[in-house]
Amino acid sequence: MVSELATSVVPRSKCLKGVRSLNRGLLGLYPIIALAIVWELVARYSDVSAVLLPPFSSTVLKFFDMILAGDLLNDLGVTALRAAAGLVLALVSGTLVGLLMARLRALRWFFEPIIAIGLPTPTIMLLPAFLIWFGIGSWSKILLTAVTCFFPVALSAYSGAVSVDEKLLWSAQSLGSNPKDLLQKVIFPASLSYIFAGTRVAVPLAVIITILSEMIAGGGGLGAQLTESYRFLDSTAEYATLIMILIFGYLLDQLLLFALKRFAPWTSGVQ
């Protein structure tokens, strides 16, 4: 009797937990729904020209038309590949440099002024030079994205490495850990929460710089689609592309959160 009661209570508690999670998710959609309603009403019943602000319903229809035609998905794939490639390059190089800066004084002396100058600099101004050096194809956009994202990742990795408890380092050294093991097995895991915080800063930067580069230099992608829609005064296509960019940025951030919860659950509390 007790076992039957227990088995009936457990699924019910899981269902209640699922309902609460669903309610929290739906609650987050209310502002978006309200914004869509206001958009539709303003576009249809105000004096604003449809060229400036097409109705939300027309934009959604155009959004699905562009998806079915394959244009928007192709542009999304190009932009996603460039942003992801630049972000990966920045994560690898920035993490390595940041961790080594905490251990090597010469490296810290070299990179500290570079990071201090590069972090607040709008790196999009380097695009003309990158176009001259690497051409108008994908490499110029990927490398500019990597340079932009390098600075927050390197600074976060360095901050995490210098905050590692000295007692933890002494304990590892007393057990015979060499500098390589110390970096891989002690400093890097202890710095993951900081690296994750820097990565969350770098992700939107990767999307922004990639799309800006495409808007200026062309070569396909969502940024080039935005520029083309503007040139032909196709405002519905322009707003449909903007919706795709918003969805892409949100999903990328959620993918990062999922990866951290899956592979580094002890850092999931960092937001």
Residue 234 phi, psi (nearest 5): -95, 85
- CA 202 – CA 115 distance, rounded (Å): 14
The per-residue pLDDT for 125 is 92
**Mean pLDDT per 10-residue run, the chain (271 residues)?**
46 53 60 84 82 87 91 92 95 94 89 91 92 91 96 93 74 67 75 87 93 91 91 89 91 84 64 51
Question: Where in the chain are the domains?
Answer: 73-220
The per-residue pLDDT for 26 is 55
Tell me the CA distances in angstroms from 131 to 110, 135, 177, 190, one per residue in order. 27, 5, 46, 39
- CA 96 – CA 157 distance, rounded (Å): 8
Tokens 């937990």 found at: 17
Residue 194 phi, psi (nearest 5): -70, -40
Tell me the CA distances in angstroms from 3 to 7, 8, 10, 187, one per residue in order. 6, 9, 11, 48
The per-residue pLDDT for 258 is 84
The per-residue pLDDT for 17 is 54
The answer regarding whether domain 73-220 maps to CATH 1.10.3720.10 reads: yes
CA-based torsion, 25, 26, 27, 33: positive or negative = positive
The DSSP H or E segment spanning 138 is helix 138-162
The per-residue pLDDT for 77 is 93
Single-letter code of the amino acid located at 198? G
The per-residue pLDDT for 3 is 46
pTM: 0.81
Cβ-based neighbours of 201, under 8 Å, separated by 6 or more: 152, 156
Angle at alpha carbon of residue 224, lines to 232 and 89, rounded to 5°: 170
Q: What tokens were used for 267?
A: 């850092």
The per-residue pLDDT for 175 is 65
